[in-house]
């Protein structure tokens, strides 16, 4: 039996579909002025068990640690914890391990027409991480075509936590001609993280300051096409094979961290978050490639192994709850 879909309806016509498998966001239908039907803006499909969706984490809640941990190892206060590497054949860990929270069946704790709450218990040693964690994810629709996702967690021992939602967005509508790279993107960022071919950082964040540079594809402080192809020889994009980088967010990201605009200019989305960074991935592993863009608030890649990222400590303390959030506004 397939996991059920939970459908939520907002007061302004915004409709979303969720699944307990990965506490996932599978559909987002947005009304657009002058159009008879809402636009489906999430790529990846609504089948929660689709192998392609699972492999690309489409719409999933990612944890215990979203993004990459170099060498699949944690070190803190003289202690070392080996983690389960992922994906297969990698020396590193991606998105919490081979059986991360994105692939678990969560409990449905609460449901209302505009609200769903999912819960999960992650035991001590899960994917190699120390400490047991109780975690909840709350999806709620608000007036103004807004979706807010709240992440709440509490641990019984020190453990790192960086959760996100891994939705892929195409504001022109899934299935429309072309690909999602024609959308325009702006990030409220003050630095970006250089990475190698394995997407592991090669140095400290590169500052973005002074005037915005149109000739620098890593300077996304002004709306520009989210397309790496015109800059394929740029060292950062050549190393990663396109966009798959973390940007450190600047002050004010709780008001707006990112803005995405459809290629036709008729629909926009803003993202606000409590978290200090955002990973932008151009979706080239999707089928078809680049059917949607992933904008993942969280922490910079390999933050746990570095002291030069300029981010807050991501470790939970025993018995001290943690609350992070992401808000999406469409209009």
* Catalytic residue chosen out of the listed positions 86, 166, 188, 245: 166
Is-catalytic flag, 166? yes
* Catalytic residue chosen out of the listed positions 40, 86, 92, 296: 296
Going by C-alpha positions, the residue among 300, 302, 299, 305 that lies closest to residue 322 is 299
Separation CA 44–CA 285 (nearest Å): 11
Q: Is the peptide bond preceding residue 4 cis, with omega within 30 degrees of 0?
A: no
Active site residues per annotation:
166, 296
């Amino acid at each position: 039996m397939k996991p059920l879909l939970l459908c939520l309806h907002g007061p302004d016509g915004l409709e979303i579909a969720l699944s307990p498998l990965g506490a996932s966001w599978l559909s987002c239908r947005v009304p657009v002025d002058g159009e008879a039907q809402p636009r489906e803006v999430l790529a990846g499909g609504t089948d929660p068990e689709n192998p392609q969706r699972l492999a690309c984490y489409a719409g999933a809640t990612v944890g215990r640690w979203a993004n990459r941990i170099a060498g699949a190892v944690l070190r803190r206060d003289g202690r070392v914890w080996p983690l389960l590497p992922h994906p297969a054949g990698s020396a590193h860990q991606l998105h919490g391990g081979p059986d991360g929270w994105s692939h678990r069946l969560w409990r449905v704790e609460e449901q209302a027409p505009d609200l769903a709450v999912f819960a999960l218990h992650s035991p001590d040693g899960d994917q190699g991480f120390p400490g047991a964690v109780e975690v909840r994810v709350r999806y709620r629709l608000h007036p103004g075509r807004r979706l807010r996702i709240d992440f709440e967690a509490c641990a019984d021992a020190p453990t790192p936590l960086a959760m996100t939602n891994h939705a892929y967005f195409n504001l022109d509508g899934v299935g429309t001609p072309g690909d999602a790279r024609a959308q325009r993107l702006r990030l409220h960022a003050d630095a970006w993280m250089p990475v190698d071919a394995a997407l592991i950082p090669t140095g400290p964040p590169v500052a973005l300051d002074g005037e915005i540079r149109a000739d620098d594809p890593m300077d996304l402080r002004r709306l520009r096409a989210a397309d790496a192809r015109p800059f394929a020889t740029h060292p950062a994009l050549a190393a990663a094979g396109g966009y798959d980088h973390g940007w450190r967010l600047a002050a004010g990201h709780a008001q707006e961290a990112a803005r995405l605009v459809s290629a036709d200019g008729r629909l926009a989305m803003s993202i606000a978050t409590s978290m200090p960074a955002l990973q932008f991935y151009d979706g080239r592993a999707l089928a078809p490639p680049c059917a949607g863009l992933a904008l993942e608030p969280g922490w910079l890649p390999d933050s746990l192994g570095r002291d030069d990222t300029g981010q807050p400590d991501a470790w939970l303390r025993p018995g001290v709850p943690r609350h992070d959030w992401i808000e999406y506004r469409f209009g």
